[in-house]
Structure 1
């Protein structure tokens, strides 16, 4: 394993800097499904970095498109009446791909900003509709909606919320796998007080939980019954990760808003956004004097937009959404073969190119550091996996092949053996 011996001034997200400051794993190169450390050792990127390297590393066409755009116009604001052709082209293309008719696209620079945008727009929408009391936002236990203020405030991972105080008032969480829990919360709070319900198609950072059969369809129906805006957080699930453009199509969902980021550029440049249904946009687009007073400095960044367009070209040309459908079962099979290991408590997956292996409860109770040690052992074996709550998560690039998927399973078993 490559660790940098130097002391660092870089403060790493979600890191115990006491441990990290004197030993970092330095990634120096990426190529396809592989990354390389500073000594040149190769590792299978079993997590696509943070869920996002969908088309793999080192795609020169994306780099060349971005470089060409920088030589012409590197960046410019799209506030007020300013625009640029790449941002318009990207918005038009995403609107056409969206599962809602005549969708509008509000661009951001990442998933956290997209969540903030959707939450503020949901509340502002009800103001414009003459129902300003509808400010409450519902989400789910185990939910991860980024680490901006709103995302932290509505998130369902309690350790991520602890110690920050109440960042967003009028929010609450319901059970992650029970549609009736949503109905009960609506009855308790009152539909006339609720602006929106946020849900990930497949829960990601909260432990990687695919939806129970009928769950997503059920909560969408409940929201429609009570005219509550349904916001699908597709930041992780979008752009092929679960075999469709926005991660909701396989359930026949037509949300009021969809937040996206990560796979839209495969991480080559930071970009995100919100897909907004026509009815939600209508008060702002069809009536004068109603600006949505919100936006990021780099919203509509032309270079980031060009990178996204090149990335979408690859996803379409190489049929990577269909490929994700084909890889779903082999990946799940590779993980399910670990279910009989004495260190394993549960295997989750089977919906998209992502899955998780949770360690046995008695093992974690006796040895809280077991998860991280297992992850490091697997990395020593040349495969990157991610500690996630009580589990080890995988979400490789969509260009991975089945023999490389087998490498993930083999390394995870050997890493678990080393733990035992």
Structure 2
């Protein structure tokens, strides 16, 4: 890539300083290399046109033309501390200068410190950490631990879930990304989780939804054979598939069923851990203690790939004299862990958890309730902290989705139009099926947050054009 810079394309950082961006020739090279040589995930390669990104800072990133975008998706809901956070960048640089890498069988100061810090904020007796490279392999290894401890094979997971793209993780996944990858792990069975707005159980209250969803889960356990089920895995708050906040008592009910049948309860917090809902771990909000918690993304905002499994004493003690048959060359990589330790320091110094709760309760929720009341295309809004979904419909009475389930091409055009309106106004949205999610970096300023919600408010007039 050329380093030639021109003054006509610039961006202005949060301190008001203007910076030049690479020139048109550099952008052309990025596009050419990408289109010729990069194979993108979850995509038909000839039907995509990835945006070249030249710079980022805080809650904003810029393309090569100098166009700015408020990042209301935190990239893939991982950039919790935003683009180019100086503390995370410095931590990586300093660690690289003294010890860039070391194998996982040796002890590392930053790996041990990060594990200790995670254990200190995890609930109950979850006080050991197995580090992985990301969320999918965290779920793979959590399942492997559950199977080893129980001597059982089967795992239950929800429909409307995502647990990763590797073999067992994609089998656990309860959305259409699983279909093309089947068969994979044949010892996975799915169940229906609570979803009050579109209840599969014909419930008329959150409490009834909890009661009936738990009865359904227990029936699945019975029919699958309770003595064959090693684990139940579920996202504490379902992420990509709807920001589905569990109704009161549901997670406690799952915990009780797991205890009743000797099943390991795995909480997938890859997306909602590390502050997304205003808690270190989302289970803390609900007052429930799982046996294993999987994490990634927000632990260091993805600056260097990192994930892991937080392990209860009961599970960990099984491996005191029995070898755990699993490992990764880059488990607990020092550069990744250094950024993780810096993340804890930033959270504590800047009161990140408190500000997430404040912004969610004081700014986001009331504004989304107002938006829901004024747009006929909005069927439901739901969420916690800085993690919300706006569910769009054609008809509020029938709750017909704005676009069909798993829509593509012309069927998905209404949502594509809404997303395009957001981008045109300078906001990069998170759109999935008939929903728009609100998931900005946790360091977003209140002014930026309000501006982003204003853009969404205006963009929803496009969706209103398709609604009854």
TM over 0.5: yes
Q: CA deviation at 1:345?
A: 4.0
Structure 1 CA distance, aligned partners of 2:75 and 2:169? 21
Residue of 443, 450, 464 corresponding to 1:406: 450
Structure 2 CA distance, aligned partners of 1:363 and 1:51? 23
Query: Retained in 2: the 8 A contact 1:335–1:347?
Result: no
Residue of 386, 395, 415 corresponding to 1:353: 386
Which sits farther off after the overlay, 403-412 or 303-312?
Answer: 403-412
Residue of 162, 176, 179 corresponding to 2:214: 179
Q: Does 1:213 align with 2:213?
A: no
Query: Retained in 2: the 8 A contact 1:145–1:233?
Result: yes
Structure 2 CA distance, aligned partners of 1:389 and 1:197? 26
Secondary structure of the 1:374 match is helix
Q: CA deviation at 1:271?
A: 0.5
Q: CA deviation at 1:358?
A: 2.0
Structure 1 CA distance, aligned partners of 2:40 and 2:93? 28
Q: How does 1:179-198 map to 2 (within 5 A)?
A: 179-198=214-233
Q: How does 1:351-390 map to 2 (within 5 A)?
A: 351-360=384-393, 361=400, 363-364=402-403, 367-390=411-434
Secondary structure of the 1:144 match is coil
Structure 1 CA distance, aligned partners of 2:99 and 2:43? 36
Q: CA deviation at 1:343?
A: 5.8
- 1:225 aligns to what? 260
Secondary structure of the 1:357 match is strand
**Greater RCO (Cα-Cα under 8 Å, separation 6 or more):** 1
Q: Does 1:166 align with 2:206?
A: no
- 2:103 aligns to what? 77
Q: Does 1:121 align with 2:145?
A: yes
Compute the TM-score of the two structures, normalised by the length of structure 1.
0.92
Q: How many residues align?
A: 405
- 1:26 aligns to what? 52
Structure 2 CA distance, aligned partners of 1:250 and 1:388? 25
Structure 2 CA distance, aligned partners of 1:142 and 1:378? 26
Residue of 54, 65, 69 corresponding to 2:91: 65
Compute the TM-score of the two structures, normalised by the length of structure 2.
0.83
Structure 2 CA distance, aligned partners of 1:119 and 1:170? 11
- 1:87 aligns to what? 111
- 2:305 aligns to what? 270
Query: Retained in 1: the 8 A contact 2:58–2:83?
Result: yes
Query: Retained in 2: the 8 A contact 1:210–1:348?
Result: no
CA-atom RMSD in angstroms: 1.9
CA spacing shift, 1:333–1:310, aligned 2, 3 Å:
same
Q: CA deviation at 1:122?
A: 0.6
Which sits farther off after the overlay, 98-107 or 354-363?
Answer: 354-363
Structure 2 CA distance, aligned partners of 1:96 and 1:123? 26
CA-to-partner distance for each residue in 1:275-301, whole Å, 9 max, x for gaps?
A: 00000011112x2xx211111210021
Structure whose alpha-carbon radius of gyration is higher: 2
Structure 2 CA distance, aligned partners of 1:58 and 1:215? 38
CA spacing shift, 1:343–1:385, aligned 2, 3 Å:
farther
CA spacing shift, 1:102–1:234, aligned 2, 3 Å:
closer
Q: Does 1:199 align with 2:238?
A: no
Residue of 333, 354, 358 corresponding to 1:322: 354
CA-to-partner distance for each residue in 1:352-383, whole Å, 9 max, x for gaps?
A: 21111222136425843211221122011101
Which sits farther off after the overlay, 271-280 or 216-225?
Answer: 216-225
- 2:134 aligns to what? 110
CA-to-partner distance for each residue in 1:316-338, whole Å, 9 max, x for gaps?
A: 11110111111222212222333
Query: Retained in 1: the 8 A contact 2:375–2:461?
Result: no
Q: CA deviation at 1:116?
A: 0.4
Q: How does 1:207-356 map to 2 (within 5 A)?
A: 207-285=242-320, 287=321, 290-329=322-361, 330-340=363-373, 344-356=377-389
Query: Retained in 2: the 8 A contact 1:36–1:43?
Result: yes
Query: Retained in 2: the 8 A contact 1:338–1:409?
Result: no
- 1:144 aligns to what? 162
Q: Unaligned stretches of 5+ in structure 2? A: 1-23, 195-212, 394-399, 405-409
CA-to-partner distance for each residue in 1:194-250, whole Å, 9 max, x for gaps?
A: 100001111001122111222111111111121211100011111111111111101
